[in-house]
Structure formats: structure tokens, C-alpha cells
A = this chain, B = another copy of it.
Amino acid sequence: MPSQYTVGVDEVAIDDDFWSPWIDRNRDVTVEYQYEQLKESGTLENFRRAIDGESGGFQGMWFQDTDAYKWIEAASYELAKADDPDLRERVDEVIDLVAGAQEVSGYLDTYFQLVEPEHKWTNLNIMHELYCAGHLIEAAVAHHEATGEESLLDVAVDFADHVDEVFGDEIDGVPGHEGIELALVRLYRVTGEERYLDLARYFVDLRGHDDRLAWELDHSEEIGGASWDDGALVPAEGGGSLLLDEDGEYVGTYAQAQAPVREQEAVEGHSVRAMYLYAGVADLVAERGDAELRAALDRLWANMTDKRTYVTGGIGSAHRHEGFTEDYDLPNESAYAETCAAVGSVFWNQRLFELEPDPAYADLIERTLYNGFLAGVGMDGEEFFYVNPLASDGDHHRSGWFTCACCPPNAARLFASLGQYVYSTTGGELYVTQYVGSDLSTTVEGTAVELDQESALPWDGEVAIEVDADGAVPVNLRIPEWADEATVTVDGDEVSHDGSGFVRVEREWNGQWVELTFEMQSELVAAHPAVEADAGRVAVRRGPLVYCAEAVDNERPLHDYALDDDATLRTAGEADALDGATVLEADATVSDRDGWDGELYRPVEDTEREETDLELVPYYAWDNRDPGAMAVWHRRA
């Protein structure tokens, strides 16, 4: 089994009208650019200086090493799908630098090696050595799986062994930024070494129990990177205050340490960290089983999806701590909804699906991929949103790279490995979880299976899948939550189903065509009445896509448009400027502006509305043309 999910990157070849251009741009533009950034930002130079035994001169963020690791991971996924000697050579060069910089003990973190060698493992809240280790391990496993080589895996193993020696013995503590937990499970899966699973479980179980994170705040003179006022070491605006409540007391929520994981009731704090943690917990449950942890994941998932998720699948309501706030607090213009958090949500949900093939997980992944995630990437593959608001006054735009460059490389590794999310073979059955044109070649319980999927999503609900197998294999086909009606046929014979969830077809497969037709209607949706930001508002969805209005398409200020509950929503052609995206048009009204001269307030009976259309484009496509205002939620007339 592959290290992450039941289907590996190398088993799926995506060839899809919608997704292939994104994946190609990712490979040709983003991953290339990412490599140039490793040179320009000093990331590689940090490793070189460590190799040369230099002191000081560290460049970039204190967790800059992860840029190299994330690039290796993304590049490795590309190598897994198709060999590329040039890329392989560059990967090997970077690996040589990484390996060379590792200390004899196994320790590897160029910030501490160059700047504060005396302060290793002293500031777990902020200084992210374990987070760096996690990305190193993920890169190493991906590289090993892609190439069969052990050059980076050996580095990861040595570092993991070193962490295993230090933690639980010299030091008891957990990372402020999670990520190592899921990485250790991946490492266990390729090495078979149970100690890594034990270590992952140690980090999961200790969180919320130990007071190490609080202790550090009281001992700033003894810990690394403790000059809170030094811009380079303050993780986000507010610095240490993110970790403290109004009375200056430590609270664990920022790093999901408010309670032991198995007792947690709600998703809290920094949303990327939360997603990485819960993904790791799902991995642990998969390996070890743990009803209590499993129940905690169910509670946390229900809290997130019922009360703390944007209609785009985005998560994280506040900039201040880049994270979750309170139930139903989902402001639109000030939403955080970090691109990395959407990626993390996909990680977590795919793992939950592998644990238990509930279609709700796949539905959320679909919603997130097409909206909350994809909006983070410009249609040129060169510009990115870190933050994905659901409304903008026109001042929010993508930029080329970020000082803290977490989102672009995270998008890169997701695009490069997207095939893993299209299928699953969990429980010995084949699941088609996403409708993305692709060839799958895998085995299910030892039986070889080949699928050839063609999909018209997200524009039309037509899917055709040719299935070939060496024996009888149950194939499960998801009816998306957005499909009002669904028809499933096998070689023209209709398959009966109850209209939701998975349609299971178990039979011998010899090139039969499964054809699926999902009725795709544009619809107006409302948010739960407790969501203040969306009160009296509606959003437009069509199939898996959330739509938005942009100023460039609409004459009046966006706040002036109102939609009746029974407003007609029409498809209105394909936008060339948006790579042929289907755009929509909605019956709407705007204010009659007559009689307002010299008046700022008038009795309502003197105000009229007039009919017009509201033009809508897919949310993921916004801010790819003339800059301007944007709104996902429109006034409900």
C-alpha cells in the first residue's frame, strides 16, 4: 500500500479537460518557479553554509528548510507519474545538500545550526523544528516511493530516530505546529518501523496534557528565537499574544492544545495546524484503531462542517491567528480561509474516507478542491492567494510568492498528487470518489483493475467510465450531494439506486462502460440562521462550483443587487477570458436611483427597485481579470 492513501500517485494518470491545464501549469510553471525560489531566497545557501560549518548568515523564515522539502515532495510526485531526467537531477542535487547538512546525531535544522546551535529543541511553540522534520519525512517518503532511492529516506530515518531519542526522554513536549504526526505514520508505512508509530502516538497523546508550551512562555530568556520583537521570529502579527488570553495566561487553542485530542469538542486555533494534526490522528486510528480518538475525530469533523466551514469549503474565520473562532462566525470580507487550510482539509478528509468510506468526506473534498482550494491559485500558475475571502471591496489580489511561502508549495504538492484523491480501494472495494478524467491502474484485494474515466465536470454532469478487471470487483460510484437526480447505467442497463451516497456495482468487468448522468441545476442556498454574515443573503451554486459576482461584469456596486428566492438562474455561455468557464446570469433587482438627489435617507415607501441581471463567474476564477469588488453572498430580496 502507498504511504498516504490506498491509491498511489503513480497509479493514476489524469487527463481531464478541467484539471489537466491546472496540473500542467503546476508542473511547468509553479514547480519550476519554486526551484528558482530555493536558490533566490537563500534556502539552498542555508544548507551549504551548514555543510561548511559556517555560523550565522541564515536567510529567510526560521522554517525556511521546509521550502526545499516541499519542493522535493512535489517534484517527486511528478517523477512518480513520469520520469524526467532533468528534474531528477535537480532533486538529487537538493537532496545532496540536505543530506550533507545533517549532523552526525541526525539533527537537521539549518536555522538552529547556523544561528542558535545552543538552543535546539527549546522553543517548541514557535521555532518549528518538528514541523520541519515532518516536511522532511514527507518529502523523503514521496521521493522513495517515486524513485525507489533511499538517499533522502536515510536522512529522514536518521532524523526521526534522533527525535525518537530526544522526545519522551530528554524532553517531553509537542510541536506548536503539527505535521510530524502524519509524516511519522508515512515513514512507518515505508519502513515498517513501529517506533515511528509509537512516536506519532506520543505526540498525539501528549498534546493538551503537558505544560511545556506554557513553560516556554515563562522562560523566554532560556529558549531559542525568543526575541519576540525581532520581526524575523514573530510568527504572525501579535506574536506571543496569540498564545495568551486577555489576562496574559497561556491557552492552548492556537495549537490545538486546549485539551487532550481525545477530549476535544471543537476545531480551534490555527486551521492549518488543526488539519495536519487531525490528518495524523486519522492515520493513527487507521494503524492502531482507537475508538476514543475515532469518536473525537467524528465530533471535530461535525463541529467543523456544521458550524465552521465556508460554503466554499474554506476554513478559518480570523486573520489574527489564521484560524477558527466560534461556531457560526463566518465573516466574508475578513475571512481567512487560507489556501493551505483547504489543502489540509483535503488531507484530513481523504484519510477519514479511507477509514470509513462515507460519501460526505468525498463531497467535502470536491467542494473544497473546486472552490476554497482552487481560488488560491491564479489561472497563470504564477500568482497565489494566501487568504481567500468570500467578499472583497476590490483590494484583494494574488501575489507571486510570499515571505512565508507555505501556500504555493502546498498547492504544488496537491496538484502534483491529485490522482490519489480520485479513487480509493479502502475495505477491498473500488471507490470512484471524484469525477476527474483519468486512467487508473491498481489492484483491489489482489485483483488487477483498470479504469478509464471521462468526465465533463464541473460544467456538465456527464461521466463515462470503462472498467476492466481480472475478476469480480465491487465498484462504488459517488452520487454527488449536489445532484438532484442521477442515472447510472452499465453498458446501457440502468442500475437502481436510492439517489444518494454510493451506487455499488459488483460484477465481472471486461471493458463495460459505466455511464453516469447527474442533474446539474444552478441553485440559491442560504446559510444557517445563526451565521450573522450571511443573514438575509443567498449564494449561487451549480454542481460542485460556488459562483460569485465580480465588479468587472456588473455595472452597479455589488451591494445593490438583490435576488428573489425564485430568481431564474441561467447559464450564459463560456468565458474565453476564464479558460471557457461556464458563466451564469441571475434575475436580480437594483435600486431605482430616481429622486435621491440631495437625499441621504428616505421613507421606504418612496424607494423603488428595478429589474436587471446579475452576472456570475465561478468563485475559483475570480481576480483573474480586471481587479474589482467580488461577492459570494448576495442580498436576498
Interface residues in chain A, defined as those with a beta carbon under 8 Å from any beta carbon in chain B: 302, 305-307, 309, 311, 523-532, 535-536, 538-539, 557, 559-560, 562, 565, 590-591, 593, 596, 598-605, 607, 635-636
Residues of chain B contacted by A599 (CB below 8 angstroms) = 306, 528
CB pairs A–B below 8 angstroms (17 shown): A306-B598, A311-B601, A524-B604, A525-B601, A525-B602, A526-B601, A526-B602, A526-B603, A528-B596, A528-B600, A529-B591, A532-B559, A535-B560, A536-B559, A536-B562, A536-B635, A604-B636
Do A529 and B590 touch across chains, with their CB atoms under 8 A apart?
yes
| Interchain nearest-CB distance for A588 vs B (Å) | 12
Do A604 and B532 touch across chains, with their CB atoms under 8 A apart?
no
Residues of chain B contacted by A603 (CB below 8 angstroms) = 523-526
Q: A525-B602, A529-B593, A591-B529 are in contact. Are A635 and B309 (CB under 8 A)?
A: no
Residues of chain B contacted by A590 (CB below 8 angstroms) = 529
| Interchain nearest-CB distance for A506 vs B (Å) | 31
Q: A529-B593, A530-B557 are in contact. Are A604 and B538 (CB under 8 A)?
A: yes
Do A601 and B528 touch across chains, with their CB atoms under 8 A apart?
yes
Task: Kindly report which residue of chain B lies nearest to residue A532, judged by CB atoms.
Answer: B559
Q: A532-B557, A535-B635 are in contact. Are A600 and B527 (CB under 8 A)?
A: yes
Copy total for this chain = 2
In the bound complex, what is the Cα–Cα distance between A341 and B314 (angstroms)? 41
Q: A306-B598, A525-B603 are in contact. List 15 more A-B contacts (CB 8 A).
A: A306-B600, A309-B600, A311-B600, A311-B601, A524-B604, A525-B602, A526-B601, A528-B596, A528-B599, A529-B560, A529-B590, A532-B557, A535-B560, A536-B562, A565-B605
Q: A311-B601, A600-B309, A635-B536 are in contact. Are A607 and B557 (CB under 8 A)?
A: no
In the bound complex, what is the Cα–Cα distance between A535 and B605 (angstroms)? 15
Interface centre among A307, A309, A557 (most CB of B within 10 A): A557
Q: Which 5 A-B pairs have the closest CB atoms?
A: A529-B591, A535-B559, A532-B559, A536-B635, A524-B604
Q: A524-B604, A605-B565 are in contact. Are A529 and B636 (CB under 8 A)?
A: no
Do A527 and B305 touch across chains, with their CB atoms under 8 A apart?
no
Task: Kindly report which residue of chain B lies nearest to residue A539, judged by CB atoms.
Answer: B601
Residues of chain B contacted by A539 (CB below 8 angstroms) = 601
Residues of chain B contacted by A309 (CB below 8 angstroms) = 600
In the bound complex, what is the Cα–Cα distance between A562 and B603 (angstroms)? 17
In the bound complex, what is the Cα–Cα distance between A603 and B559 (angstroms)? 21
Task: Kindly report which residue of chain B lies nearest to residue A546, judged by CB atoms.
Answer: B601
Task: Kindly report which residue of chain B lies nearest to residue A564, judged by CB atoms.
Answer: B604
Of the residues B311, B598, B604, contact of A565 by C-beta under 8 Å: B604
Q: A536-B562, A635-B535 are in contact. Are A526 and B607 (CB under 8 A)?
A: yes
In the bound complex, what is the Cα–Cα distance between A591 and B534 (angstroms)? 12
Residues of chain B contacted by A604 (CB below 8 angstroms) = 523-526, 538, 565, 636
Residues of chain B contacted by A557 (CB below 8 angstroms) = 530, 532
Interface centre among A524, A529, A531 (most CB of B within 10 A): A529
Task: Kindly report which residue of chain B lies nearest to residue A590, judged by CB atoms.
Answer: B529
In the bound complex, what is the Cα–Cα distance between A525 and B602 (angstroms)? 5
Residues of chain B contacted by A531 (CB below 8 angstroms) = 600
Task: Kindly report which residue of chain B lies nearest to residue A523, judged by CB atoms.
Answer: B603
In the bound complex, what is the Cα–Cα distance between A269 and B593 (angstroms)? 28
Task: Kindly report which residue of chain B lies nearest to residue A558, judged by CB atoms.
Answer: B532
Task: Kindly report which residue of chain B lies nearest to residue A307, judged by CB atoms.
Answer: B600
Q: A530-B557, A536-B635, A593-B529 are in contact. Are A302 and B598 (CB under 8 A)?
A: yes
| Interchain nearest-CB distance for A205 vs B (Å) | 29
Interface centre among A311, A525, A635 (most CB of B within 10 A): A525
Residues of chain B contacted by A307 (CB below 8 angstroms) = 600
In the bound complex, what is the Cα–Cα distance between A535 and B557 (angstroms)? 11
Residues of chain B contacted by A535 (CB below 8 angstroms) = 559-560, 635
In the bound complex, what is the Cα–Cα distance between A604 and B560 (angstroms)? 20
Do A596 and B529 touch across chains, with their CB atoms under 8 A apart?
yes
| Interchain nearest-CB distance for A600 vs B (Å) | 5
Task: Kindly report which residue of chain B lies nearest to residue A560, judged by CB atoms.
Answer: B529
Interface centre among A593, A602, A607 (most CB of B within 10 A): A607
Residues of chain B contacted by A560 (CB below 8 angstroms) = 529, 535
In the bound complex, what is the Cα–Cα distance between A591 and B305 (angstroms)? 21
Residues of chain B contacted by A532 (CB below 8 angstroms) = 557, 559
Residues of chain B contacted by A636 (CB below 8 angstroms) = 536, 604
In the bound complex, what is the Cα–Cα distance between A532 and B565 (angstroms)? 21
Task: Kindly report which residue of chain B lies nearest to residue A524, judged by CB atoms.
Answer: B604
| Interchain nearest-CB distance for A609 vs B (Å) | 9
| Interchain nearest-CB distance for A298 vs B (Å) | 12
In the bound complex, what is the Cα–Cα distance between A372 and B525 (angstroms)? 38
Task: Kindly report which residue of chain B lies nearest to residue A609, judged by CB atoms.
Answer: B529
| Interchain nearest-CB distance for A423 vs B (Å) | 27
In the bound complex, what is the Cα–Cα distance between A560 and B311 (angstroms)? 19
In the bound complex, what is the Cα–Cα distance between A435 and B557 (angstroms)? 41
Residues of chain B contacted by A635 (CB below 8 angstroms) = 535-536
In the bound complex, what is the Cα–Cα distance between A523 and B528 (angstroms)? 30
In the bound complex, what is the Cα–Cα distance between A527 and B591 (angstroms)? 11
Residues of chain B contacted by A601 (CB below 8 angstroms) = 311, 525-528, 539
Task: Kindly report which residue of chain B lies nearest to residue A328, judged by CB atoms.
Answer: B600
In the bound complex, what is the Cα–Cα distance between A529 and B556 (angstroms)? 10
Residues of chain B contacted by A526 (CB below 8 angstroms) = 601-604, 607
Residues of chain B contacted by A607 (CB below 8 angstroms) = 526
| Interchain nearest-CB distance for A537 vs B (Å) | 9
Of the residues B305, B523, B565, contact of A600 by C-beta under 8 Å: B305
In the bound complex, what is the Cα–Cα distance between A539 and B557 (angstroms)? 21
Interface centre among A311, A526, A591, A604 (most CB of B within 10 A): A604
Residues of chain B contacted by A525 (CB below 8 angstroms) = 601-604
In the bound complex, what is the Cα–Cα distance between A523 and B603 (angstroms)? 7
| Interchain nearest-CB distance for A559 vs B (Å) | 4
In the bound complex, what is the Cα–Cα distance between A83 and B636 (angstroms)? 61
| Interchain nearest-CB distance for A12 vs B (Å) | 30
In the bound complex, what is the Cα–Cα distance between A539 and B599 (angstroms)? 15
